[in-house]
Amino acid sequence: MIEIDRVTKTYGGRRVVDDLSLTIPDGALCVLLGPSGCGKSTTLRMINRLIPFDAGEIRVQGEDIRNVPPEELRRRIGYAIQSTGLFPHWRVEDNIATVPRLLGWSHQRVRDRVTELLELFRLDPETYRHKYPHQLSGGEQQRVGVARALAADPDVLLMDEPFAAVDPLVRDALQGEIARIHRATGKTIVFVTHDIDEALRLATVIAIMERGRLAQSGEPLDLVERPASDFVRDFVGNEAAGLKSLALRKVSERAQPADSAAGEPISAAASLRDAFAAMTARHTDRLPVIDESGRPAGVITLADLVR
Amino acid sequence: MAALDPRFRGGDERRERRVNPTPILKSPLLWTAVLFAALLFGMPLLAPLFRWAFPQVQPPVFSRGSFVELFLSHAGMVLVASLAATVIGIALAVFATRPAGRDFRALIDTLATVGQTFPPAAVLALAVPALGFGPRPTIVALFLYGLLPILGNAIAGLEAVPAAVLDAAEGVGLSAWQRLRDIELPLAAPVILAGVRVSVTIAIGTAAIGSTVGALTLGTPIFDGLAGNKLPFVIQGAVLTALFAIVTDLGFASLQRRLQPPGAPSPA
């Protein structure tokens, strides 16, 4: 658990983070979202003491971070950034092994951990272990950057716009991997982005920031369907918020128990947006629904989507 | 704690070391070094050649001291001055690129630029009244003159380390000392080494001028020859000084290829 408690940071008289309080529960994937200059990156970098704050308190797993020496704190918290920051003169293996070696792990344990992480990111260990960062594609570099952050198995992972610099296809794949790794490891992740779609896709909790203050925090659907202010409403996309909300809800929430309809069925676990897309593509206003085991589970109609 | 830089650890990295594609026998370094050594030891054997070309000069080969002796004295002064310039130049550059030293950055830049405008002969002339004749004013002049390219390159090299790399290094928990030793200096090393190469090569040429204030160098035959109108002495000193500088420069070039971080794209 990360508790940010009435924290303020001032740069030259300007409050970039202003009396911010936010609690991130264990196992959450909390996205700090907002326009540039809203203080989201500053907030992230205060959690591992890269930036000192002027007032308030931050606790990680109950411990006031100012009582932990900065280097020790940072080795317990994973850190991944936009341009990866991979050490260009170290091989992939050495980059990933940075923190385990700082912590004095044995040679064999480090080696096994590197293998495990490369496999987790679907990079063949024997091919990639000895490569240098400049020999990797952008997406591979970013995977290695996140693998380095995870190397010493930290409870908390900080990610500062990690996928902002890669092309959309690669970003989509990387987001999928982060979601998968979050589910598999249950780590607490704090993720900074200005991309609302990325936030809605990944977050279990979103905190929207506006000029150093918390504009609203809550589950993604909450923010989309019940924005607390015009700022939040604008940020989640006004009318387009309707589409975003469809993406967050499942077919099973709206399906009607009815005789099955004609045509290719859609899974109950698919999103309402997928159902909408399927209806549009097939020029129909109703789709049969099937559950995970493939049994008929009713029908979903166009009217159900806008209910 | 053991150094983190993988190049400091033994083991499997050797098999990945890029092999110099030039076979040793084709290397210009080897052949110029052999030629230099041969002339250094064998110059007196060329006496008949010089006697034939310059019949009026007696003796035909410089003989106030052996060329090996001159070379050792010359190289010793360059070594002492360049080592001091390297250590102090890098130390100043590290200081100027730390948060605490940022304010001194402009001052160091100015000093380096002003220093470069002094001709080495002027530095020698100014050092003699303070230090007397002999090798000492020469070493001081070589040091002051050699400091500047090293300092300039070291600052440039340290500042060229990408900000994201430093941010990541700090964020994953490397201490300030570990960041300097394992990340910044290795990444800046090729640029620093290029500065040392320029500095040492200039120092070899400049040291020859030290003969005018009583230092024993390969420049001694040159100035003796000029003073006594003995052209063969001038040729002997000049050829050896030039070869010394060329061999050293080629040696640094080979060292630079070796030290090029394996992760970096090929040297520019």
CATH number at residue A9: 3.40.50.300
Q: Which residues contact A307 (CB under 8 A, 6 or more apart)?
A: A254
pLDDT at A117: 95
Least Cα distance to A61 among A113, A34, A26 occurs for A26
CATH of domain B72-259: 1.10.3720.10
Most A CBs within 10 A among B172, B177, B180, B187, hence the mutation to make, goes to B172
Same domain for A272 and A240: no
- State the average pLDDT over residues A116-120: 94
Same domain for A133 and A229: yes
Same domain for A138 and A255: no
d(CA B185, CA A67): 31
Same domain for A197 and A79: yes
* A-chain residue closest to B17, CA distance: A130
A231 touches chain B (CB under 8 A): no
Q: Which residues contact B4 (CB under 8 A, 6 or more apart)?
A: A98, A101, A102, B174, B178, B182
Same domain for A273 and A212: no
- State the average pLDDT over residues A97-111: 96
**Per-residue b or e along A171-204, where b marks 16 or more CB atoms closer than 10 Å to that residue's CB:** bebbbebbeebbeeeebbbbbbbbbbebbbbbbe
**Residues β-bridged to residue A20:** A7
Same domain for A219 and A258: no
Cβ burial, residue B236 (10 Å; 0-12/13-18/19+): buried
Boundary residue ending a domain (A227, A244, A261): A244
pLDDT at A239: 65
Is pLDDT at A237 greater than 80 in this prediction?
no
Chain A residues closer than 8 Å to B261 by CB:
88-89
* B-chain residue closest to A104, CA distance: B1
Terminal C-alpha separation, chain B: 34
Same domain for A210 and A138: yes
Please give the tally of structural domains in chain A: 2
Cβ-defined contact of A83 to B263 (cutoff 8 Å): no
Chain A residues closer than 8 Å to B1 by CB:
104
Please give the backbone phi and psi of residue B202, each rounded to the nearest 5 degrees, phi first. Answer: -65, -40
- State the average pLDDT over residues A180-199: 92
d(CA B248, CA B233): 23
Cβ-defined contact of A98 to B174 (cutoff 8 Å): yes
A102 touches chain B (CB under 8 A): yes
**Confidence check on the interface: ipTM exceeds 0.85, yes or no:** no
Same domain for A260 and A142: no
Cis peptide before B60 (omega within 30 of 0): no
pLDDT band at B201 (very low <50, low <70, confident <90, very high): very high
- DSSP category for residue A32: E
Report the share of chain A in percent with pLDDT over 90. Answer: 63
Q: Which residues contact A239 (CB under 8 A, 6 or more apart)?
A: none
Question: Measured between CB atoms, which of B168, B178, B263 is closest to A134?
Answer: B263
Please give the backbone phi and psi of residue A190, each rounded to the nearest 5 degrees, phi first. Answer: -110, 125
Please state the domain extents for chain B: 72-259
Same domain for A260 and A195: no
Q: Which residues contact A182 (CB under 8 A, 6 or more apart)?
A: A29, A189, A202
Same domain for A284 and A226: no
Boundary residue ending a domain (A244, A271, A292): A244
Same domain for A157 and A28: yes
Q: Which domain holds residue A233?
A: 2-244
d(CA A149, CA A143): 10
pLDDT digits (tens, 9 = 90+) for A243-287: 777 887 888 888 888 776 778 888 888 888 888 888 888 888 888
* B-chain residue closest to A48, CA distance: B171
Question: Measured between CB atoms, which of A81, A89, A130 is closest to B261?
Answer: A89
Report the share of chain B in percent with pLDDT over 90. Answer: 56
Measured CA distances, A128 to A96, A151, A156 (Å): 11, 16, 26
Show the tokens assigned to B15. 């098999």
Q: Which of A192-206, A263-277, B113-127 has the highest mean pLDDT?
A: A192-206
Compute the mean pLDDT over every residue in chain B, rounded to the nearest whole number.
86
| Residue matched to tokens 């007397």 | B132
Greatest alpha-carbon span in chain B: 75
Taking a C-beta distance cutoff of 8 angstroms, is the pair B92, B151 a contact? yes
Instruction: Look up the CATH number of the domain holding residue A282.
Output: 3.90.1280.20
Boundary residue ending a domain (A229, A244, A259): A244
Most B CBs within 10 A among A42, A47, A51, A87, hence the mutation to make, goes to A87
Same domain for A256 and A237: no
Question: Measured between CB atoms, which of A79, A90, A158 is closest to B263?
Answer: A90
